[in-house]
Structure 1
Amino acid sequence: MYTFRNNTPRATKRAEGTAKRLRLLLCCSLALLGGLLVNARAQQGPTTPSKTYSVGDKIPAFSVQMSNGLTLTDADLKGKVSILVFFNTGCPDCRRELPHLQKMSERFPDVTFICISRAETEESIKSFWAAKQLTLPYSAQPDRQLYDAFGAKGLPKLYLVNKDHVICCTYSDRLSKRVLVRQIKKLLYEQ
């Protein structure tokens, strides 16, 4: 059996040169890929909010297209007690809590209830609303932009907002209905 060995200085230098070129090519490729990723990320905009809104903060400015065709802005809520709920119909907690919010909206007609989806289509929301016989107004948001603007974490995420646009309380996961009712009454009847 014949084994080829080429351990000459010339072959060794050639192998070293090839290895250097491959390392250089790999480094350049990684740098290019990194630059492309940074550029793509910059074009998407920030994925994390610059501020997390919580109790005592004013709500951020926003404008959404509602299920009834009207456009709703934060200015439309001035002078009204409001509940903004971020949801997704694929979320088990949201599926459980939305019917309770429907009942609460019927109990408190002077409170403006606004349901805003996180990364969900109009079609999937419509079918869930029909199946659960919900009449709450909603805004189908195909992305996370408004959710991120509020600095929301988790679903469902509820913001109870007073007449001056100040967040009075927030809820995630299981909503304490008794506490929420008490907070709503306090805001509705305060002078």
Structure 2
Amino acid sequence: MFPQSWRLLYPLLFLLAGAAQAQPAVGDAIPAFDTQLLDGRTLPAKSLAGKPVLVVFWATWCPTCRKELPELQKLYEKYKAAGFEILALSIDAERIEVDEFWQDHRYTFPVAMRTARHSEIFGVTRAPPRFFLIGRDGRLALRHFGAIGYQQLETALKPLL
């Protein structure tokens, strides 16, 4: 058995671990972050500042993600000129699978592998897709888990443009 002091500390440690993986709420300011893209370039935080940005956690093995990505491409093409950006963060274990998938489908918005920094900011993703729409002011405007569809994303995006 654990000593009495450990029995008292265990619930506290459990709560602290959960807090470290907390997810941002709508209205929260999202910290700036740089991202190393699959093509080797760095997407600096300053290039996203002042723009509406959709951060999408996805995976090549996720059927819902595979269905949503073409819709995201359409949304990106329609609103990119207005400053809209998408950052797709893969939770796949192997980068090569993501590289091949992205090349085969020819999506044009930035893609990267999820990093520890992304998980610090957005929480741990185990079941994609997850969507985080950040407004020009750097605050979270939409948080959605699971399938969302073009229409719902466009409705959330338009006021941010």
TM over 0.5: yes
**CA–CA distance in structure 1, aligned partners of residues 44 and 64 of structure 2:** 27
**Is 1:74 equivalent to 2:45 in the alignment?**
yes
**CA–CA distance in structure 2, aligned partners of residues 114 and 98 of structure 1:** 12
**Is 1:181 equivalent to 2:154 in the alignment?**
yes
Cα shift readout 1:60-92 (whole Å, capped 9, x = no counterpart): 332210134321243332111111111111111
Give the % identical residues.
29
Q: Which residue number corresponds to residue 31 of structure 2?
A: 60
Q: CA deviation at 1:47?
A: 8.3
Q: Give the 3-state SS of the residue equivalent to 1:108 in structure 2.
A: helix
**CA–CA distance in structure 1, aligned partners of residues 159 and 50 of structure 2:** 15
Q: CA deviation at 1:114?
A: 0.7
Q: Which residue number corresponds to residue 98 of structure 2?
A: 125
In structure 2, relative to structure 1, the CA distance for the partners of 1:155 and 1:168 (3 Å cut) is same
Q: Give the 3-state SS of the residue equivalent to 1:83 in structure 2.
A: strand
**CA–CA distance in structure 1, aligned partners of residues 139 and 30 of structure 2:** 6
Structure 2 unaligned segments of length 5 or more: list them. 3-16
- What is the TM-score with the length of structure 2 in the denominator? 0.76
**CA–CA distance in structure 1, aligned partners of residues 19 and 123 of structure 2:** 7
Please tell me the residue identity of whatever aligns with 2:131. Answer: L
**Is 1:147 equivalent to 2:114 in the alignment?**
no
Q: CA deviation at 1:183?
A: 1.8
Q: Which residue number corresponds to residue 16 of structure 1?
A: none
Q: Which residue number corresponds to residue 97 of structure 1?
A: 68
Q: Is the 1:49–1:150 contact (alpha carbons within 8 Å) kept by the matching residues of 2?
A: no
Q: Give the 3-state SS of the residue equivalent to 2:66 in structure 1.
A: helix
In structure 2, relative to structure 1, the CA distance for the partners of 1:101 and 1:65 (3 Å cut) is same
Q: Is the 1:102–1:135 contact (alpha carbons within 8 Å) kept by the matching residues of 2?
A: yes
Between structure 1 and structure 2, the one with the greater Rg is: 1
**CA–CA distance in structure 1, aligned partners of residues 59 and 157 of structure 2:** 24
In structure 2, relative to structure 1, the CA distance for the partners of 1:56 and 1:170 (3 Å cut) is same
Structure 1 unaligned segments of length 5 or more: list them. 1-29, 32-45
Cα shift readout 1:26-81 (whole Å, capped 9, x = no counterpart): xxxx99xxxxxxxxxxxxxx687343212111113322101343212433321111
In structure 2, relative to structure 1, the CA distance for the partners of 1:86 and 1:162 (3 Å cut) is same
Cα shift readout 1:112-157 (whole Å, capped 9, x = no counterpart): 111111243331112111232322210123x665235311553111
Q: Which residue number corresponds to residue 170 of structure 1?
A: 143
In structure 2, relative to structure 1, the CA distance for the partners of 1:58 and 1:73 (3 Å cut) is farther
